Amino acid sequence: MKDTPQQIVPKRRRGKFLSQWQLFSMLLPAFILVFIFSYLPLAGWILAFNHYQVGRGLLDAKFVGLDHFKMFFVQSKDFGYLLRNTLSMNFMILILGILLAMIFAVLVNEISLKSISKTIQTVSFFPYFLSWVIVYSIAYAFFAPSGGAITTVLQNFGLLAPGTNILGSNDYAWVLAVGLQIWKSLGYNSVIFLSAISSISPEQYESATVDGANRFQKIVHITVPNLIPTMSVLLILNAGWILNSNFDFYFIFTNPTNWGKMEVLDMYIYNFGLKQSNYSYATAIGMVKTLTSVSLLLFVNWFSKRTMNRSIF
């Protein structure tokens, strides 16, 4: 008796797994680490529904239900400005970062001298390895209220009022946050687009040359369209992180004078969780952030699949 198509597919999968079990076993340590450090801690979400106090057992904590969630969304006035700061800056970093990385990769690829293009790639990639402490030292050297290189030039040309503290001003907080984070990750993101450009078939450029296309027309009609799938995947993957901020950056660059524009959800969770030891309230906010991020990832993936027929799953 012959197997039905429904029976053939599982058998093929089992056969493929058994024939390559050595390769699959190499993934086991990664799965174990992800489970221990990413999934096992989710059991701590129980804190969000209890009133936990330091020094007492978790089982002794009083069950309060959704009180911590109500406090964040209804009673406190923090939800509005936290969502504004987090979404505004992360959205600009995501969109501008990917677009500028794509444009930068295209420009670097158009440099005919490979030695120069490799040098530019190396120099642009270097900031990615710098710690935010070093970046703050560099930023202070340029934007210090008195003696900063850029601050002094802007004041001499009358473009900045004397005594203006760019690093501690609400007016420049978002520009500073978005600009520095894009600058730091530009080289790293451009590598992804450069690898995508290298996979484009040279025959497409040769055909365009035969048809009389110039360099700009090749970029518009060949290079950019071939980079759209890569850009779509990056947007989908990063959409799930839209509520996650670079904690190191905000921890270092946030101060009492720019706090109103620089405090994001991660800093808010840190302030309540570690500084005020209100672990239950901080866990509730972190839980909301995680569930919202997963929902955004699923929505963006579905939207991309429906509109552009491209998705990650």
The domains of the chain are located at 53-307
Nearest-angstrom CA–CA distance, 308 and 153: 47
Answer for the pair 267, 254: CB distance below 8 angstroms, yes or no. Answer: yes
As a whole number, mean pLDDT of residues 73-98 equals 89
As a whole number, mean pLDDT of residues 154-181 equals 89
In single-letter form, the type of residue at position 26 comes to M
Task: Report the pLDDT value the prediction gives residue 233, as an integer from 0 to 100.
Answer: 85
Is the pTM above the cut of 0.85?
A: no
As a whole number, mean pLDDT of residues 165-177 equals 91
As a whole number, mean pLDDT of residues 176-189 equals 93
Please provide the DSSP assignment of 72-85 as one string. Answer: IIII-SHHHHHHHH
53-307 folds as MetI-like fold (1.10.3720)
The pair of structure tokens assigned to 295 is 């929902």
Interacting residues of 246 by C-beta distance below 8 A, sequence separation 6+: 132, 181
Residue 260 has pLDDT above 90, yes or no: no
Calculate what percentage of the chain has a pLDDT beyond 70. 95
As a whole number, mean pLDDT of residues 256-274 equals 88
Task: Report the pLDDT value the prediction gives residue 176, as an integer from 0 to 100.
Answer: 92
